[in-house]
Amino acid sequence: MKRTDTFNSGLSENDVTDESVFLNRRQILRQLGFIGAGSLLASTSTHASASLLDLLGRNNAPSEEGFRTEPLSFTAAERTPEQILTAEDKITGYNNFYEFGTDKGDPRRNAQALQVNPWTLTVGGEVRQPLTLDYDDLFRFQLEERIYRLRCVEAWSMVIPWVGFPLAALLKQADPTSDARYVAFETLHDPEQMPGQRNRFSGGGLNYPYVEGLRLDEALHPLTLLAVGLYGKTLPPQNGAPVRLLVPWKYGFKSIKSVVSIRLVKEQPPTSWNRIAPHEYGFYANVNPQVDHPRWSQASERRITRGGLGSDERIPTQLFNGYAEQVAHLYRNMDLTRAF
């Protein structure tokens, strides 16, 4: 097993904040009891490598694990926006989680008391093997680190090092029947813990619980992740602890947080944002620079990097958020301007 510690060398004081945590991820995860020695990197799939390749440089030989880690030792000044991990403080302090309020700072402010352990996640519907998972079960899957772009429909974006496992691993355990064509997800509904659920003003007008859905082939795609951590630690409540979905080629609202229910279903399930504004938010919600939101352009995005005045850059938005090579085939015969 190749050691990653050497990549710390050459970092100035300024650089050794969030990134040092990230680079020491193996030690941190081991302390948390996530992994036996070395198992996290060893379990990284080729798909994780593909997204890392894309984000973190094209000119470096892969490490033994298939990671291309070397660009992480660059200082921020040497990197392009595509190569900068968004600062941990931004990822955990600039959030959309309307159950805790609609301002970007509300989730961090209001979510800290969310009880995430014990937790129950059920998998049911059109399956031969219904499942009930508790908190500890979430950490028994083979965890991988995945660096994904997150592109919010509001036209800002981040680059986030998640820890999680493919949703497909869970769905295969549940063994979907041949009637299963879609997957429906539901967030915890608990107005006592979630102030945004108490009335329609504090929760942005959404109906709760927050619900989302995917076609089964999208749900089984190897990029589709259930995340249980970021920056090498368990998820903060504001990012959707203890388990949230990530569908990196779709707008962020598809990536439903704090999931308690996953159901395999026959028909396309309702989704929260589509329900309140169907002409603005489609079921598919694939990132597409050519299909504008009725009220703003989707051609570019504000990439949030380290925060601070002038540090964000406006960059062109990519079709399928840069994951076209992996996912375009899912939509081969579809008109993406209609199925937006």
| Residues that bind Mo ion in the complex, under the rule CB under 5 A | 96, 152, 252-253
Q: Min. distance of Cβ 121 from Mo ion in angstroms? A: 23
Contacts (CB under 6 A) with ligand MTE, residues 190-219: 210
In whole angstroms, what separates CA 136 from the centre of its chain? 20
From CA 238, how far away is CA 257, in angstroms rounded?
9
> What Rg value do the Cα atoms of the chain yield, rounded?
19
34 in Cβ contact with 143 (< 8 Å): yes
* Residue spans of alpha helices (H) in 101-225: 106-110, 135-138, 167-174, 216-219
For residue 164, what are the β-bridge partners?
144, 227
Strand partners, 187: 259
Name the minimum Å distance from CB 199 to Mo ion. 22
Provide the minimum distance between the beta carbon of 304 and Mo ion in the complex, in angstroms, as a whole number: 13
Chosen residue from 157, 239, 286, 326 binding ligand MTE by CB under 6 A = 239
Instruction: Indicate which single residue of 68, 257, 263, 303 sits in contact with ligand MTE (rule: CB under 6 A).
Output: 257
Instruction: Using CB positions, name the residue nearest to ligand MTE.
Output: 252
Q: How far is the CB of 138 from ligand MTE (least distance, A)?
A: 17
Nearest to 248 by CA among 215, 212, 277, 287: 287
How far is residue 162's CA from residue 171's CA, in Å, rounded to a whole number?
20
List, in order, residues 6 or more apart from 216 with CB less than 8 Å away: 176, 180, 181, 182, 183, 264
| Binding of ligand MTE by 123 (CB under 6 A) | no
Kindly indicate which of the ranges 10-18, 95-103, 117-125, 173-181 contains the residues binding ligand MTE, using the contact rule CB under 6 A: 95-103
Confirm if 86 and 159 have CB atoms less than 8 A apart. yes
Contact 229, 161 (CB under 8 A): no
Is residue 99 at the binding interface for ligand MTE, with CB under 6 A as the rule?
Answer: yes
Task: Record the tokens describing residue 234, joined without a space.
Answer: 């368990």
Question: Cα separations (Å) of 253 from 2, 38, 171, 217, 319?
Answer: 37, 34, 21, 19, 17
Told to check if 159 binds ligand MTE by CB under 6 A, we report no
The least distance separating ligand MTE from the CB of residue 316, rounded to whole angstroms, comes to 19
**How many other CB atoms are found less than 10 A from the CB of residue 185?**
26
Does residue 252 interact with ligand MTE by CB under 6 A?
A: yes
Q: Which of 35, 40, 152, 262 binds ligand MTE (CB under 6 A)?
A: 152
> Applying CB under 6 A, which of residues 98, 148, 185, 283 lies at the interface with ligand MTE?
98
Is 187 a binding residue for ligand MTE by CB under 6 A? The answer is: yes
Q: Which does 35 bind (CB under 5 to 8 A by kind): Mo ion, ligand MTE, none?
A: none
Nearest residue (CB) to ligand MTE, 11 versus 91: 91
* Main-chain phi, psi angles of 73, to 5 degrees: -85, -5
Residue 34 or residue 148: which is nearer to Mo ion going by CB?
148
If the CB atoms of residues 60 and 207 are measured against Mo ion, the closer one turns out to be: 207
Q: How far is the CB of 271 from ligand MTE (least distance, A)?
A: 11
Structure-block tokens of residue 206: 């959404």
**Residue 99 or 301: which CB sits closer to ligand MTE?**
99
- Interface ranges with ligand MTE (CB under 6 A): 95-99, 150, 152, 187, 210, 239-240, 252-253, 255-257
